[in-house]
Chain A
Amino acid sequence: MAFLLRRLAFYLAAFIAAATVNFFLPRVMPGDPIQIMFGSANANLTVENLNALRLTFGFIDAPIWQQYLTYLQSIFTGDLGRSIRYFPAPVSEILGRATIWTVGLVGIATILAFIVGTGLGIFAAWKRGTRADTAISLLAIFTTAVPAVVISLLALFIFAYQLRWFPSGYAYNPLLDPALSWTYISSVIYHGTLPMVTMFIVLLGGFAITMRNNMINLLGEDYIVMGRAKGLSENRVMFWYAARNALLPTVSNLAIALGTVVGGSLITEVVFNYPGLGNVLYQAILARDYPVIQGQLLIMTAAMLIANFLVDVSYVLLDPRLKKA
């Protein structure tokens, strides 16, 4: 418990660090920070609106630390400002809508990739030195070494443009209205499959290699030899003696791997024109819509921290040595 509380405090600090980057960046850039942040919107912003935006981002007539506190206050009350491009839509609303798509897409792809990748890693480690191991290792090297953007573009080219098996964009047929009907849901599945499979492939190799190497490192351990000496079935030793222990370092690596998940999802969405966070961010970058870009960093950091916390919790559940500590 104390362990988890310590982690929570740490994550709070990390979140504030990300917010601090947001706060200082426009202020250390050459030029007028207000002009940088909201310059592209001067024409369609009234004075009141501009003042409200300034307040949100801490541009007030006060010493810098008060500005900083003002900014932190807006963030912790959920006020991320308004989009310049889609003024007056609040950033939190724009991002909120996109988050649903991203969480669905990335969540499913990540969980599937973790299960399948870890399974392949276990198998490769158990059969190390065989052809199966070589094949899995090479496949894994390949998917980790080729940039997500390349994998996405190739998938798009082959399956959407050449074979025409899948559509080349959008989360569902834009002619449909969202509803709980089979037509709508099947459209969502049809549009989501290719980006999801792409994400899956992007993530698969990393999980497989990590598990394989962790497990091979353990195979010489005495408790695994003892498991075999006890005459247990191969499956029991492989899963409950070897894999179960190798899962611990794998799960703690998972926290770092989540960065790849976030990065990979951004790219996949842009390439497949999928209306998730990545695409919103891309549009915001093109329009230099800074409030949205900054809000994005906070949302993604928050997502990453929550995922990290879940990893911590599962680590505590998996490792008996931590439970009573």
Chain B
Amino acid sequence: MSAPVLSVRNLSIDYVGEDSDFHAVKDVSFDIAKGEFFGLAGESGCGKSTIAFAIARLHQPSALIRRGEILVEGRNVLDLDKKALEKFRWTEVAMVFQSAMNSLNPVLTIEAQFHDVLKTHLGLSREQSRKRAEELLALVDIPAERLKSFPHQCSGGMRQRIVIAICLALNPKLLIMDEPTTALDVVVQREILQRIDVLRKELGFSILFITHDLGLMAQVCDRIGVMLEGELVEVGDARQIHTAPTHPYTKKLWASMPRLRGAQIGGEASL
């Protein structure tokens, strides 16, 4: 096996309070291999988003990384200076936010939101950006005319796919998706995940997929980590986590899930 794309080592994150701290992430370690679809599950408030933000150093006061390392391709993200960090973001780690519907800037056209990232990182001109943006939109089945639209003129599912297209603009090594589909109905949700799975196989990036829907996760992921109140209590194969969970909390999670529906999305899509 080659070196992992992402390696989180003994990560602890606190939210600083007036006189005591809230330990949101406690000594968490896990790896994501190249091309792997990794899932992070756990109930609301267990610290999943906190980890996701920390990976791209997007956490803001009062979040504070107390201990640990975040290695992307062997480089500790926490050591990057301001310039290196700006360069690192999006070229190596791109991110779909928990509410991807609201993560497009309402006053800029879709085109401008492709262009600023392409210009900043690759120095592309307007025309070059437009061509590249058209290709990217094609990947997620969105017609090129949409480039001239503003976000409010697109439907929720469309916006979601546009964000994913922007994420792929620089061929990142890792795509973080923080509950990217919770606001969508089940059909659209499936469609988008299938699409991403196909793209992953084509382009070879890894995925960190966050959700509290363990059932959905078991359908799409290669490996799964289960979190409980800031701790990573179990990491394993999707199949193992599904059929033979070892930690009592994982069992409890399964017990609270409705029956699994449908086959593996990955399997279906590769037909």
Contact = CB atoms under 8 A, between A and B. Distances in A.
Q: Is B truly associated with A?
A: yes
Given A231-B87, A231-B121, A245-B107, 10 more contacts: A129-B61, A222-B97, A223-B106, A225-B103, A231-B86, A231-B88, A231-B117, A244-B107, A320-B150, A321-B150
B54 interface: no
Interface residues of B, number: 34
A226 B178 CA distance: 12
B107 A228 contact: no
Q: Which 9 pairs from chain A and chain B are nearest by CB?
A: A231-B89, A222-B103, A320-B150, A226-B103, A231-B90, A223-B105, A222-B102, A230-B117, A231-B86
A26 to B, nearest CB: 50
Contacts of A324: 153
B116 interface: yes
Contacts of B99: 222
B253 interface: no
Nearest to A242: B105
Contact of A223 (B90, B95, B102, B117): B102
Secondary structure at the A interface, as helix, strand, loop or mixed, is helix
Contacts, number: 78
A232 B117 contact: yes
Contact of A229 (B94, B121, B152): B94
A240 B108 contact: yes
A230 B106 contact: no
Contacts of A244: 105, 107
B56 interface: yes
A321 B86 contact: no
Nearest to A223: B105
18 contacts: A222-B98, A223-B104, A223-B106, A226-B105, A226-B163, A229-B97, A230-B90, A230-B117, A230-B166, A232-B86, A232-B117, A236-B120, A244-B105, A245-B106, A319-B107, A320-B150, A321-B150, A321-B152
Nearest to B94: A229
A33 interface: no
A39 interface: no
Interface string A293-325: 000000000000000000000000011110010
Contacts of B86: 231-233
B56 A321 contact: no
Nearest to A231: B89
Interface in A238-270: 240-241, 244-245, 248
Contact of B89 (A228, A241, A245): A228
Nearest to A319: B107
A231 B88 CA distance: 7
Interface in A25-70: none
Nearest to A222: B103
B120 A225 contact: no
Contact of A320 (B85, B89, B152): B152
A227 interface: yes
Interface in B79-128: 85-91, 94-95, 97-100, 102-109, 116-117, 120-121
